[in-house]
């Protein structure tokens, strides 16, 4: 009873949230050495990092489920940042992977639709970060496809077109953008950033985490550490410090 009474008298503790929305590259980001796990560790006393990556999804499907993830302004209030990280599946070649393929113009329109929805529930554009698909290492991905009995169903040049469209959407809508496709190929062999030609290796995940943190840091820098440092708790009267 005493515990219930104390809980009733204290203010509810609500952690702000960083929402990671994307495909398998986001879903896998909480694995060991993953980029999402890195962010969660950096922000552990400031906010929750919520993984909403859904393997295999494209923007056509993502725009339908986003309103179910963030339902109204009351649930959006606590969101300090949202990453939207799609394109690796949208850019699949239509003839060889029609289920995941989304035409380039529709991909751009879908991204804009998701940004407009977020703004409608008071997640402003300065809290939205678009991430382009990473480059595709075709020979490695072809091996992965052949192992499943499939043909090479993506190509890097096409992925680059989707990355450019993502960057343009960010410019049009006033959001931040991380152009992973360009950055990973800048003056270097990018194959070590990928585990199978498509998904990120630990090195690629570390690269993304560092790039993303530089864009995320200013959005979370003002957040206080939740609950006082243990040395600052008044041990003779903990209620004064903790409630």
Catalytically active residues are 24, 196, 199
Give CA–CA dist 70/19, Å, rounded. 10
- Please list, residue by residue across 203-228, b when 16 or more beta carbons sit within 10 angstroms of its beta carbon and e when fewer do: ebbbbbbebbeeebeebbeeeeeeee
Give CA–CA dist 145/31, Å, rounded. 23
The β-bridge relationship of strands 176-178 and 48-53 is: unpaired
Q: Which residues pair with 177 in a beta bridge?
A: 130
Residue 78: CB atoms within 10 Å? 13
Q: How far is CA 150 from the centre of its chain?
A: 28
The β-bridge relationship of strands 128-131 and 176-178 is: parallel
Rounded to the nearest 5°, which phi and psi values hold at 17?
A: -130, 140
Residue 30 · residue 5 · CB < 8 Å:
no
Give CA–CA dist 201/192, Å, rounded. 7
């Amino acid at each position: 009873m005493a515990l219930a009474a104390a809980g009733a008298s204290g203010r509810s503790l609500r952690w702000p949230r960083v929402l990671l929305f994307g495909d398998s590259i986001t879903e896998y980001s909480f694995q060991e050495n993953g980029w999402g796990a890195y962010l969660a560790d950096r922000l552990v006393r400031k906010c929750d990092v919520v993984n909403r990556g859904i393997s295999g999804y494209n923007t056509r499907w993502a725009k339908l489920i986003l309103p179910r993830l963030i339902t109204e302004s009351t649930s959006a209030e606590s969101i300090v940042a949202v990453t939207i990280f799609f394109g690796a599946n949208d850019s699949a070649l239509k003839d060889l992977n029609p289920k995941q393929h989304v035409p380039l113009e529709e991909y751009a329109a879908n991204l804009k639709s998701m940004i407009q929805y977020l703004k409608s529930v008071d997640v402003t554009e300065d809290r939205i970060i678009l991430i382009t698909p990473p480059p595709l290492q075709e020979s490695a991905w072809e091996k992965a496809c052949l192992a499943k009995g499939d043909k090479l169903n993506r190509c890097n040049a096409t992925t680059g077109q989707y990355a450019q469209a993502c960057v343009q959407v960010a410019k049009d809508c006033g959001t931040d953008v991380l152009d992973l496709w360009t950055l990973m190929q800048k003056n270097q062999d990018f194959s070590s950033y990928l585990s199978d030609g498509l998904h990120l290796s630990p090195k690629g995940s570390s690269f993304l985490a560092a790039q993303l943190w530089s864009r995320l840091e200013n959005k979370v820098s003002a957040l206080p550490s939740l609950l006082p440092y243990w040395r600052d708790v008044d041990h003779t009267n903990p209620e004064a410090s903790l409630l």
